[in-house]
């Protein structure tokens, strides 16, 4: 095996993975509640190995797990009665065919049966993990900062509490010891629909110091300009490795076809 070719080609693989992650971030730029992703690279530990004379493992695989940036996204006013944005940590709970999953996307609707759902049709849950039913007579319920949903019966004029939205948080997301583990294992995985799936036995608690804002939704925390800069940077690094392979290939071609010829 030719060392230079192998080293250059192995360097292209993580850059290709980075491009896929960046492209996915940009593709979800307009999705409410979306959180940008990234990948961890095995750089520091491999640098220590090189200094000690040990053989580096990055030649095999430099990707050391992925991560999600849960930084707060900006809130955008929609005026929708069932749209709710989260200001602070936490996630709404929804019921799917695979079980309870979590989301920051508070763009909810009332379906034909009067159940509060996401735009994908998954029921939003209350604090007791029950579906939230909104009678047709309750035209514009009020949702306060604590997630308490109240409405007035237009027929009887009676005010009534309909439900309390379930908003939970996962302390491990912010635990510096867990985040420093090698390799890092996120307490979440993402479903095909963009919901978060909690890893089994992951501790969850009611969200604290989190405000629910009715008539607003949280936008994606992807910064388009920064992602484009990252994409250009990764693309140029990829092209550099590609160029290195071409140069080595040209050198080998001359070594085999020119230097080896007896004239």
186 has a pLDDT exceeding 60? yes
Structural domain count, the chain = 1
**In-domain check, residue 77:** yes
**In-domain check, residue 149:** yes
Q: What is the pLDDT of residue 58?
A: 47
**In-domain check, residue 6:** no
Question: When comparing pLDDT for 182 and 173, which is higher?
Answer: 173
**Is-cis flag, bond preceding 31, omega within 30?**
no
Q: What is the pLDDT of residue 251?
A: 75
**In-domain check, residue 118:** yes
| Overall average pLDDT of the 30-47 stretch | 78
Residues 165-176 pLDDT 10s: 999 999 988 888
Contact 114, 99 (CB under 8 A): no
Give the tokens for residue 53: 């004379």
For the whole model, what pTM was predicted? 0.80
**In-domain check, residue 262:** no
Give dist(CA 169, CA 159) in Å, integer.
30
CA distances from 166 to 13, 90, 91 (A): 41, 10, 8
Contact 31, 218 (CB under 8 A): no
Q: What are the start-end ranges of the E strands in the chain?
A: 37-41, 63-68, 75-77, 84-87, 91-96, 99-103, 108-110, 116-118, 142-143, 148-152, 159-164, 167-169, 188-190, 196-198, 205-206, 211-214, 216-218
**In-domain check, residue 84:** yes
| Overall average pLDDT of the 11-15 stretch | 76
Residues 92-103 pLDDT 10s: 999 999 999 999
Mapped onto helix, strand or coil, the DSSP state of residue 237 is helix
Instruction: Give me the torsion for CA of 21, 25, 26, 32, rounded to 10°.
Output: 160
**In-domain check, residue 24:** no
Residues 112-167 pLDDT 10s: 999 999 999 999 999 999 999 998 877 678 999 999 999 877 667 678 899 999 99
73 has a pLDDT exceeding 80? yes
Q: What is the pLDDT of residue 74?
A: 96
The boundaries of the domain holding residue 142 are: 71-221
**In-domain check, residue 7:** no
- Concatenate the DSSP letters of all residues of 33-76 into one string: T---EEEEE--HHHHHHHHHTPPPSTTT--EEEEEE--PPPPEE
Give the tokens for residue 22: 């960046």
Mapped onto helix, strand or coil, the DSSP state of residue 232 is helix
Q: What is the pLDDT of residue 43?
A: 58
Q: To the nearest whole percent, how much of the chain has pLDDT over 70? A: 79
């Amino acid at each position: 095996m030719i060392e230079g070719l192998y080293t250059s080609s192995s360097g292209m693989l993580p850059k290709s993975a980075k491009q896929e992650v960046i492209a996915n971030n940009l593709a979800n730029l307009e999705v409410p509640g979306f959180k940008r992703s990234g990948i961890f690279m095995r750089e520091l530990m491999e640098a220590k190995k090189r200094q000690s004379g040990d053989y580096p493992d990055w030649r095999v695989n430099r990707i050391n797990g992925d991560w999600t940036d849960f930084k707060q996204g900006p809130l955008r006013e929609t005026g929708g009665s069932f749209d709710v944005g989260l200001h602070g940590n936490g996630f709404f709970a929804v019921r799917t065919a695979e079980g309870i999953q979590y989301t920051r996307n508070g763009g909810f609707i009332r379906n034909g049966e009067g159940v509060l759902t996401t735009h994908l049709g998954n029921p939003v849950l209350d604090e007791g993990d029950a579906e939230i039913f909104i009678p047709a007579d309750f035209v514009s319920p009020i949702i306060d900062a604590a997630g308490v949903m109240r409405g007035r019966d237009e027929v009887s004029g009676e005010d009534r509490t309909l439900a309390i939205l379930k908003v939970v948080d996962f302390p491990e997301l912010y635990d510096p010891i867990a985040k420093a583990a090698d390799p890092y294992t996120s307490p979440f995985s993402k479903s095909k629909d963009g919901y978060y799936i909690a890893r089994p036995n992951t501790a969850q608690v009611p969200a604290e110091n989190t405000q629910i804002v009715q008539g607003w939704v949280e936008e994606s925390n992807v910064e388009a300009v920064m992602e484009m800069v990252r994409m250009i940077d990764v693309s140029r690094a990829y092209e550099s490795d590609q160029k290195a392979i071409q140069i080595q290939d040209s050198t080998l071609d001359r070594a085999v076809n020119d230097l080896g010829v007896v004239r």
